[in-house]
Amino acid sequence: MSKSWNVVMWSLAALWMACSGGLEDPTQPGGSGEMRLSVGGLIAQQFDSLVITVRPANVSQVLSYSTTTDTFVGTLVLPIGTQTLTAQGFVDDGAGNPVLVASGTASVDVVGGATVTVLLRVQDLTPPVPQPDIAPFIRSASITGTPRVNELIGLSVSALDLDGDALTYQWTSNCPTSVFTHPTSFYTQWGTRDAGPCRLQVAVTARGVTVTQSINLNVEGLTTPQTGEVDVEAEYIARPLVTAIHIQGTGLSARQFLRQDAVTRLPFVGPNRTFQVEFFVDYGNRHGTRTATLDSTCGTVVRGVDTCATSPAPTTCSVKYAWTTPALPSPTCLVTARARNGSLTDSFAIGTMVDWVP
């Protein structure tokens, strides 16, 4: 066999013709028929051997290969009746052992005085070609702090392996007195007792493949502490507050829920209906980085007018959304307004059920 089984995949179709008449053995009471076999679809003798087994006739034959037609051919004499045909293709493993690489099964009724045609597909059994390894990537390597004698700085590397293979790390330096606190971690601290240039290197390995990246730095010597003045400006960032939600739409009159309300539940609403939702936010002042969004556990939401995003930033504002309920009933549904100012957040939700309503 010249085929590379770990590179190519293929399938064959075998055309079997079972026919009778004129070939029956008069000594057999049940009659018999001659089966002429021809297996095509091969490319440069993809099998070393092709074995045909017939049950319940208990007939088995190794077909002969024709270099002229590039097919396996043979003839079997079978008793009349239903027979199950099994074709098995083998290749030599190089040590003289046959290895099953293709198989197919079909049933045929051998009928006296009639010709029956059946199509048998012999399917490739070899496994798919494995995916080659994708070596890891180093996206960045960075330092935190200023390198000085007898002081530690932070080192970090960001690496990725697209195959999901485990990553290992190794930090090294060409400075003889340097020390890494965690030399086999993606993050470590590093320091040295000597001033001057140093070359740091991190190696990232996955499945035996290593990639590296270097950091060149200069270590400052000991200095006399100096003092200076610092002007500090601070700004107060207030936690945002979603103060109210207003909703109206098909089959639902205008409703407004305030933050101080004891209950924030809508009556049932119908499927596949669109409602206009507007919520109001108090950011306390004009400082900070703010966002305001609406989400729902059912249906879809589409953003509309957002006065919170205007400039200069308002202290109070509102955001409008179109909320469309799902096409089918939903037992629970939360519509939640969310506001954020930096790391400070707030949310306010109303609940309902989506069901068939008039």
Alpha carbons 41 and 87: distance in angstroms, whole number: 14
Instruction: Say if 170 falls within a structural domain.
Output: yes
Coil/strand/helix, residue 248: strand
- For 59-93, what is each residue's pLDDT tens digit? 888 888 777 777 777 777 778 889 898 989 899 88
* CA within 13 Å, CB half, 139: 7
Q: What is the pLDDT of residue 95?
A: 92
Residues 163 and 209 in one domain: yes
Q: How confident is the model at residue 49 (pLDDT cuts 50, 70, 90)?
A: confident
Which residue from 332, 323, 338 is spatially nearest to 279, judged by alpha carbons? 338
* Sheet with 81-92, side-by-side order of all strands: 59-62, 49-55, 81-92, 98-110, 115-124, 12-19, 32-40, 71-79, 64-66
Which residue from 122, 130, 96, 109 is spatially nearest to 31, judged by alpha carbons? 109
Rg of the chain over Cα atoms, rounded to whole angstroms, equals 39
Which residue from 63, 11, 37 is spatially nearest to 117, judged by alpha carbons? 37
Q: Report DSSP state, residue 29.
A: T
Average pLDDT over residues 103-109: 88
Residues 277 and 245: beta-carbon distance below 8 Å: yes
Q: What is the pLDDT of residue 77?
A: 77
Coil/strand/helix, residue 141: strand
Quickly tell me which residue has 């002007």 as its tokens. 231
Residues 16 and 112 in one domain: yes
Q: What is the pLDDT of residue 63?
A: 83
Residues recorded for the chain: 358
Residues 25 and 66 in one domain: yes
Q: Measured at the alpha carbon of residue 130, what is the angle toward residues 125 and 136, in degrees to the nearest 5?
A: 170
Q: Indicate the pTM of the whole model.
A: 0.40
Coil/strand/helix, residue 182: coil
Residues 89 and 79: beta-carbon distance below 8 Å: no
Average pLDDT over residues 8-14: 28
Structural tokens at position 347:
């949310």
User: What phi and psi values does residue 323 have, to the nearest 5 degrees?
Assistant: -110, 125
Work out how many domains the chain is built from and give that number. 3
Alpha carbons 81 and 144: distance in angstroms, whole number: 84
Residues 77 and 151 in one domain: no
User: What phi and psi values does residue 226 have, to the nearest 5 degrees?
Assistant: -120, 155
More confident residue, 101 or 7: 101
Residues 185 and 113 in one domain: no
Alpha carbons 120 and 105: distance in angstroms, whole number: 6
Domain end, chosen from 153, 185, 219, is at 219
Alpha helices, DSSP H only, in 89-142?
Answer: none
| Domain hosting residue 115, numbered range | 12-124
Residues 172 and 98 in one domain: no
Residues 148 and 210 in one domain: yes
* pLDDT mean across residues, the chain: 84
Residues 107 and 144 in one domain: no
Residues 219 and 194: beta-carbon distance below 8 Å: yes
Q: What is the pLDDT of residue 339?
A: 95
Instruction: Say if 1 falls within a structural domain.
Output: no
Cα dihedral sign, 74-79-82-84: negative
Instruction: Say if 229 falls within a structural domain.
Output: no
* CA within 13 Å, CB half, 320: 7
Residues 293 and 340 in one domain: yes
Instruction: Say if 129 falls within a structural domain.
Output: no
- For 301-312, what is each residue's pLDDT tens digit? 999 999 999 989
Instruction: Say if 254 falls within a structural domain.
Output: yes
Q: How confident is the model at residue 3 (pLDDT cuts 50, 70, 90)?
A: very low
User: What phi and psi values does residue 308 have, to the nearest 5 degrees?
Assistant: -70, -20
* Sheet with 330-341, side-by-side order of all strands: 290-296, 330-341, 344-354
Domain end, chosen from 95, 124, 153, is at 124
Alpha carbons 218 and 220: distance in angstroms, whole number: 6
